[in-house]
């Protein structure tokens, strides 16, 4: 346990969060505020805030004039980034949800490749209908995003013989730049989307990009709905040319009358990628470690890079 010279004020969104994060270093004062209910005394002294899922970023930050660190529990930071001043460190929840999110992407991809929704229907009808399906052997997978989510997706699919190509914002060894996407899409049997939503990725997978994919390709999105042009995806999947697994949609939640629901080649889950029972345990472990680093004056992890 590190001790600190001055009192550090940490604001967390619930009493259960406070209890789960404990123990914190000596000299760290914990306040509980969800960003919506009346703020407790001393909230204006907050140095480090754990942003829950409830408060609006602008209202919350207005109450925290001395905040130095905003820690999110999500991998995505698009909702917060525009509101966090340049001199405040924004940290995301990378690693909290990444593996579970990748796990859901692999679940959805495998379900489509191995026709699980069809067999669920056959089971309901008590029918033993044998039919050869595809498998991942020799499938070419384009992973958009070379962070932890993309890495876990790749490692799991490789076990079954798929070959992986990474695309990310910054080209580096083994990773292509996003502007190479038009050259890479025609060779992709599977496009797995695991990048943050930002100005560069919003609408990136539009009608032109989808048109580059070969017939029968699978688009899997566990990142953010607006990365894909929904109307273009509806057109390409309802025609039967492409298939899709979507844990995120645009709009979200998907309205009951949206055409995506009924497309035979589309499997939808309701944004549950990272929302598994284990996530809070992982989240509070990360936050405790971040508070210890902050109290000790060490470098934080998961710092969101500004453009």
Q: According to the binding rule CB under 8 A, does residue 123 interact with a copy of itself?
A: yes
3-class DSSP assignment, residue 46: coil
Contact present, 56 and 35 (Cβ < 8 Å): yes
Contact segment (CB under 8 A) with a copy of itself among 32-40, 82-90, 134-142, 190-198 equals 134-142
Active-site hit among 20, 252, 289, 292? 252
- Tokens describing residue 192: 């797995």
Residue 115 CB, shortest distance to a copy of itself, in Å, is 8
Q: According to the binding rule CB under 8 A, does residue 286 interact with a copy of itself?
A: no
Is 271 designated active site? yes
Among 170, 215, 277, 306, binds a copy of itself (CB under 8 A): 277
Q: According to the binding rule CB under 8 A, does residue 130 interact with a copy of itself?
A: yes
Cα separations in angstroms, 283 against 33, 96, 98, 292: 17, 5, 11, 14
Minimum CB distance to a copy of itself smaller for 123 or for 163 = 123
Minimum CB distance to a copy of itself smaller for 25 or for 95 = 95
Q: According to the binding rule CB under 8 A, does residue 19 interact with a copy of itself?
A: no
Distance CA 300, CA 219 (A): 34
Is 224 designated active site? yes
Shortest CA distance to 212 belongs to which of 238, 198, 232?
A: 232
Q: According to the binding rule CB under 8 A, does residue 234 interact with a copy of itself?
A: no
Q: According to the binding rule CB under 8 A, does residue 183 interact with a copy of itself?
A: no
3-class DSSP assignment, residue 141: strand
Distance CA 2, CA 135 (A): 52
Q: Which residues pair with 168 in a beta bridge?
A: 177
| Residue in this structure with the two tokens 């070969």, named with its chain if needed | 214
Is 252 designated active site? yes
Cα separations in angstroms, 144 against 17, 195, 210: 33, 6, 14
Minimum CB distance to a copy of itself smaller for 47 or for 247 = 247
User: In the 8-state DSSP scheme, what is residue 10?
Assistant: E
Which parts of this chain interact with a copy of itself (CB under 8 A)? 99-100, 102-104, 106-108, 110-111, 113-114, 116-117, 119-120, 122-124, 126-138, 152, 155-156, 159-161, 252-254, 256-258, 261-262, 267-272, 275-279, 282
Residues classed as catalytic? 224, 252, 271
């Amino acid at each position: 346990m590190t001790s600190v010279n001055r009192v550090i004020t940490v604001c967390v969104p619930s009493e259960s969060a406070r209890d789960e994060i404990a123990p914190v270093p000596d000299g760290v004062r914990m306040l509980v505020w969800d960003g919506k209910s009346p703020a407790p005394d001393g909230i204006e002294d907050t140095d480090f805030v754990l942003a829950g899922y409830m408060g609006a970023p602008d209202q919350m930050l207005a109450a925290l004039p001395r905040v130095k660190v905003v820690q999110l529990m999500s991998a995505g930071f698009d909702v917060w980034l525009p509101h966090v001043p340049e001199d405040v460190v924004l940290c995301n929840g990378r690693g909290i949800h990444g593996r579970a999110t990748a796990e859901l992407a692999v679940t959805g991809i495998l379900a489509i490749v191995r026709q699980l929704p069809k067999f669920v229907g056959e089971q309901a009808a008590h029918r033993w209908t044998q039919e050869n399906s595809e498998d991942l052997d020799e499938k070419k997978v384009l992973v958009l995003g070379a962070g932890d989510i993309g890495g876990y997706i790749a490692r799991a699919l490789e076990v079954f013989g798929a070959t992986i190509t990474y695309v990310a914002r910054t080209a580096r060894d083994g990773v292509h730049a996003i502007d190479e996407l038009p050259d890479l899409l025609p060779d992709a049997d599977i496009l797995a989307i695991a990048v943050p939503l930002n100005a560069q990725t919003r609408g990136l997978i539009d009608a032109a990009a989808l048109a580059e994919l070969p017939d029968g390709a699978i688009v899997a999105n566990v990142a953010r709905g607006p990365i894909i042009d929904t109307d273009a995806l509806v057109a390409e999947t309802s025609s039967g040319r492409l298939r899709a697994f979507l844990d995120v949609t645009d709009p979200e939640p998907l309205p009951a009358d949206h055409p995506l629901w009924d497309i035979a080649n589309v499997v939808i889950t309701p944004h549950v990628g990272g929302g598994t029972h284990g996530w809070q345990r992982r989240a509070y472990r990360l936050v405790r470690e971040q508070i210890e680093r902050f109290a000790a004056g060490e470098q934080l992890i998961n710092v969101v890079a500004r453009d």
